[in-house]
Amino acid sequence: MGKFFGCIHSKGPDFMRSGIPIALLASAIAHAASAKDGGAPFKIHGQSWLDAGKVMASHDTLTNDGTGDFIDQEGVWLQTMGVQFTAVADLSGNMEGAFGFGAHKATHSLGRFQGNTKVKYLAVSLFQNFITQARLTYFQGEKAAPWLSGTIGSFNYTYNRDSKNLGSYLLRGPVYPGLLMGGFQDFSADSGKANVMGFQLHHGAGSFSQDLILKNEKDLPPTFDWSLACVAKYKMSDAVEIGGGVNFYRLIPYNPKLETPGKLSVDGGRSYEIADTVTHDTVFFSHQGIKVMGMFSVELNKFLGMGGLGPDDLKLYGEAAILGTRNYGTVYGKIGERMPVMLGFNLPAWGLVDFLSVEGEYYKSPYRNDLANIGTLNNVADWTLQNPARPTPSPAPVGGAYPDSTRDNLKWSVNVEKTVAGHVKFLGQVANDHYRPRPVATGLTSSTGGTAETFTTPQDWYFMFRVGYFF
Amino acid sequence: MVSKMGIANPLALLAVTAALPFGSRADDPKVEYHGAGWLQMGRVEKSFTTEKHEINNYTHTWMRNAGAVFEANVSIDEHWDGRLGLGAVNVHLSRGKTTNANIWYPFWVPFVPEAQITHTNTFSENSKLSFTFGSFGVDYNPDAKNLGLYLMRGYVYPGSLVSGFTGPLGVLAATTGAMGSYRFGKFQYDQILVSETEDKPLYDFSLAEILTVRPAPGLEFGFGANHYRFIAQDKRLTSPGKDCRADMEMGENGIGCFEVVNTLDADGNILSSDTITGSLAGTKLMARFHVDPKAMFGLGESLGGGELVLYGEAAVLGVKNVGNYYKDIMRRIPVMMGFNFPTWRILDNLSLEVEYYASRNSSDNLGAQFGSWIPNVDPDVNNARDDWKWSLNIDKIVAGHVKFSAQVANDHLRVGGYHNYATGVETTTTPEDWYWTTKAVYFF
């Protein structure tokens, strides 16, 4: 079966290949659909958007080639657009399938590289396609709020629906190093797009709900690893909800040698540390780790009883996480440097907009929030692929003097959204967040960058707008 | 300069947009789906200029693409409607380079033909105001089959022209930005704010204004101006100054940042040098007409709707003379005329389009793609031999959903380079050059 889904090229156990869940899903949907005369009833949903904005201040964006080459993002205009369709089918009284696809415009960053602008003329602008969903869901109880359900395939799972930009630490980003992800309308935080490939088991009982997620790594190298996460939420009252979760990140590695590289030579960083120069005790870093998360949401408007407010106005919410419960080496020696904390508040808007929120984040990591040692997931075109080093579980750069990366500890984001006529959306964001620009093109078939954040000092910021609609 | 280009107009559009009726709501939009699949195939029969280039000889090069597109037209309520689509097309790098045929490879390229949302206020049967946002086609000259549409296609300095088939669903290459349209009686006024997404430098804003007049049945005139790149994303890219360094700021494909004009004595010695700076920005003007004698005189009821229509378009590509390359405005005026021959409904279209453009500059736009407003100079090419262009187009729809099209032409086809070799040179640059292409489309 693997041949038909193009997944026979990799080493390792077959069950870890991402093509298998899709194959199972496809055949299950086909089987279920064929069981009905005339096919399964389905509904198509669509979405279209145009984004535009500008980086107003950006001080130091480095490349990922280890040379420290400098990409200047200041003043760069950002623009993209996209379209997606998703078909959701009722396969039986307690089974639902969904699949869809889309395309969005990807363009090399228009920044300056080493002070020159010719990269702006080498930039490639093209459409990249993606799968919105490819899932099969079995449920017991009401479809909208089942007491038990299981989902397999590519699907969306957003445990923190209050978060507009920051947060969602449990399922975004690596553990060692503990890097944060995000940006304006980040795909991984968009409920209309799949962010999990794998399996979800959901259980709900009144005010309590819990989810078990078995997630296959499809974004960050080393890919094909399996992570096991559990999220539980409890609604203490009509206005207060608390939640917590744990993620055994990369619990089942696709290739243990990639997971814990040991003393394998690497180009971009070191995967071990001599902990004791006398005994030569060596600490080996691993991509594996355990994330722990806690979150809360309080709807103050229900306490205060203020009239005229929108349903989400005056909501206070927050999330904190530990990115790696284990201390080891000097790089990962302080747990306090691996704890991002986010707080958000929906300001009163009295129905003028859907929400107007402010989010702030503090993360005391002394290292650059840079994926350089992990890999680039930001490439524009196959023929401009970079040549990344073996994915290394260490911050970038590691060894020697670390650059001062404490100036990016505070992040913030102001978001506003307005829905018109039930289907047309206008969004705006002003932020200093974890947006990573795509690489700059350095030749017709080469590029660099794409792993480091644009905003690394308190003075950095950008704005974005979106107009779009959905049905 | 900005005030001359009507900066107040987009502000007016914004003001009207702010007044949109945000309170209305529709829960169940009506969605209409359309789709198409096609195969296009053809061959370059003669390409005199490229035959001289060992690395990219397009004579007898086959061209082929196949694809499919799926679209949805969404009617949200009486004011809001949208169109969105997805497609994929199978394309190949050009085969001009035969010595490296091993790096001639196909791609499946996804694309978005349309992603737009429109708000319309209808005041009366003949009066309505609409605003469109997103990615949409601007078809101000629906008669044009291949040539023309100068206002919205191509650079100003250099004034390189663009041509080509429309999409399988009749959708033009998408323009990204916003458009305001006001129709009142026999007049229609469109104002389009375009964010540049195809030609570099990217994301410059252009503002186009088009007035269409229909004074009598069968008679239509159009006038337009395009303030091309009037807001630059980076002024230094769009308008390089005297301190511009081409090697750092443009790269190896840039022609140069400025023009140096030397004054020579009788012996050819340089007496003085003058540096002339320029810009990719400029103003295009356009005028067009459409005459349908059937509608004007009640003729030929047995003829198809488009038959006997005579149409034409002319433009000024840059109203300002600059340096030696752009010193004569008459050489920046392309003119095209087209005629739909009568076929008595045997065909849906049999048209001939002819174009004259007296430019003495190279039609190669690669330099412009790297920021040069100065045209490419190839001493081996006689730029006076590509003044005339022509295109013969045929369309036939069968069973309401199957369309066969064919084109024989000497036009502005650019088949591109190969692998990591880029080129913006036109394929047909002498009167002897031509190619043909056919397309079979199924659509619903």
pLDDT in tens, A177-191: 999 999 999 988 888
How far B26 CA sits from the closest chain A CA (Å)? 5
Do the Cβ atoms of A132 and A142 come closer than 8 Å? no
A chain contacts of residue B176, beta-carbon cutoff 8 Å: 50, 79, 81
How would you write the pLDDT of chain B (444 residues) with one tens digit per residue? Answer: 333 333 334 334 334 333 444 444 446 899 999 999 999 999 999 998 777 666 678 888 888 889 999 999 999 999 999 999 999 998 877 777 666 667 767 888 899 999 999 999 999 988 999 999 999 989 999 999 999 999 999 999 999 999 976 555 545 578 999 999 999 999 999 999 999 998 999 999 999 999 999 999 999 999 999 999 999 999 999 999 998 988 888 877 888 899 988 888 888 888 888 999 999 999 999 999 999 999 998 887 788 889 999 999 999 999 999 999 999 999 999 999 999 999 999 999 999 999 999 999 999 999 999 999 999 888 877 888 899 999 999 999 999 999 999 999 999 998 877 777 778 889 999 999 999 999 999 999
How close is the nearest chain B Cα to the Cα of A58, in Å?
Answer: 16
Contact A420 B369 (CB under 8 A): no
Comparing alpha-carbon positions, the chain A residue that sits nearest to B70 is A85
Contacts of B280 in chain A (CB under 8 A): none
Contact across the interface for B80 and A46, Cβ inside 8 Å:
no
CA distance B347 to chain A (A): 35
Closest residue of chain A to B24, computed from CA coordinates: A421
- B74 and A118: CB-CB below 8 Å? no
Helix (H) / strand (E) containing B182: strand B175-184
The tokens describing A116, both together, are: 């020159």
Its pTM stands at 0.88
Closest chain A residue by Cα to residue B417 = A444
Q: For A420, which residue in chain B has the nearest alpha carbon?
A: B22
Phi and psi based region of residue A39 (left: phi greater than 0; alpha: psi -120 to 50; beta: remaining):
left
Give me the residue from A48, A104, A125 closest to B82, CB to CB. Answer: A48
Contacts of A443 in chain B (CB under 8 A): 420
Q: Give the distance from residue A343's alpha carbon to the nearest chain B alpha carbon, in angstroms.
A: 30
Per-residue model confidence as pLDDT tens digits over B90-113: 887 777 766 666 776 788 889 999
Nearest to B206 by CA among B143, B115, B281: B281
* Exposure of B301 in the CB half-sphere (CA atoms within 13 A): 1
* Residues in contact with B124: Cβ distance below 8 Å, sequence separation at least 6, in sequence order: none
CB contact under 8 A, B116 and A115: no
What residues of B are in contact with residue A105 (Cβ under 8 Å)? Answer: 112, 197
Q: Select from B25, B134, B370 the Cβ nearest to the Cβ of A121.
A: B370
Find the length of chain A. 471
Token output for B385: 């031999």
Yes or no, beta carbons of B200 and A123 under 8 Å apart: yes
Question: Which chain A positions have a beta carbon within 8 Å of B112's beta carbon?
Answer: 81-83, 103-105, 127
Q: Is the peptide bond before B201 cis (omega within 30 degrees of 0)?
A: yes
Chain A with chain B: Cβ pairs closer than 8 A: 148
Residues of chain B positioned with their CB less than 8 A from the CB of A101: 86
Among B83, B142, B87, B89, which Cα is nearest to B114's?
B83
Which residues are B404's β-sheet partners?
A: B396, B440
The answer to whether A421 contacts B84, with C-beta atoms less than 8 Å apart, is no
CA–CA gap between residue B318 and residue B226 (Å, rounded): 10
Chain B residues closer than 8 Å to A468 by CB: 117
Cβ contact B279:B257 at 8 Å: no
* Cα–Cα distance, B362 to B372 (Å, whole number): 13
Q: B148: alpha, beta or left, given left = phi > 0 and alpha = psi -120 to 50? A: left
d(CA A377, CA A178): 16
Asked if residue B81 lies in contact with residue B26, where contact means CB atoms within 8 angstroms, the answer is no
The residue type of B135 is S
What residues contact B73, with CB distance under 8 A and at least 6 apart? Answer: B31, B32, B33, B34, B81, B82, B83
Beta strands in A285-409 (DSSP E): 289-299, 315-323, 341-346, 355-362
A103–B111 CB contact, under 8 Å: yes
CA distance B205 to B178: 11
* Residues paired with residue B205 on neighbouring β-strands, in sequence order: B195, B231
Using an 8 Å CB-CB cutoff, list chain A residues near B133: 50, 467
**Contact: A129, B110; criterion CB under 8 Å:** yes
- Cβ contacts of B250 on chain A, cutoff 8 Å: 118, 121
- Residue A23 φ then ψ, to 5°: -65, -45
Most B CBs within 10 Å: which of A354, A380, A467, A469, as the mutation test of the B interface? Answer: A469
Measure in Å the smallest separation between the Cα of A127 and chain B Cα atoms: 6
Nearest CA in chain B to A422: B25
CA distances from B370 to A75, A120, A444, B375 (A): 20, 8, 12, 11
CA distance A244 to chain B (A): 35
Of A77, A85, A469, the CB nearest to B203: A77
* Residue A245: both structure tokens together: 């979760």
Angstroms from A200 CA to nearest CA on chain B:
30
Contact check, Cβ <8 Å, B200/A120: yes
Q: Is the CB of B26 less than 8 angstroms away from the CB of A82? A: no
Neighbours of B351 (CB within 10 A): 23
Give the pLDDT of chain A (471 residues) as one tens digit per residue. Answer: 333 223 333 333 443 344 444 444 445 545 544 444 567 899 999 999 999 999 999 987 777 666 667 888 999 999 999 999 999 999 989 999 999 999 999 999 998 888 888 888 989 999 999 999 999 999 999 998 999 999 999 999 999 999 999 999 999 999 999 999 999 999 888 888 999 999 999 999 999 999 999 999 999 999 999 999 999 999 999 999 999 999 999 999 999 988 998 877 655 567 888 777 777 788 899 999 999 999 999 999 988 877 788 899 999 999 999 999 999 988 899 999 999 999 999 999 999 999 999 999 999 998 888 888 888 888 888 777 665 667 888 887 654 444 567 889 999 999 999 999 999 999 999 999 999 999 999 888 888 888 889 998 999 999 999 999 999
Q: Burial letters for A444-470: b for 16+ Cβ neighbours within 10 Å, e otherwise?
A: beebbbbbbbbbbeeebbbbbebbbbb
Q: Do B251 and A423 touch (CB under 8 A)?
A: no
Q: Which helix (H) or strand (E) holds A119?
A: helix A119-122
Residue of B nearest to A128 (CA): B110
Cα dihedral value B230, B114, B170, B28, nearest 10: -130
Locate the DSSP E strands across A93-195: 95-107, 112-113, 125-141, 146-155
* Average pLDDT score, chain B: 88
Q: What is the ipTM of this complex?
A: 0.87
Per CB-CB distance under 8 Å, the chain A contacts of B31 are 44, 46, 471
> Å from A247 to nearest chain B CA?
35
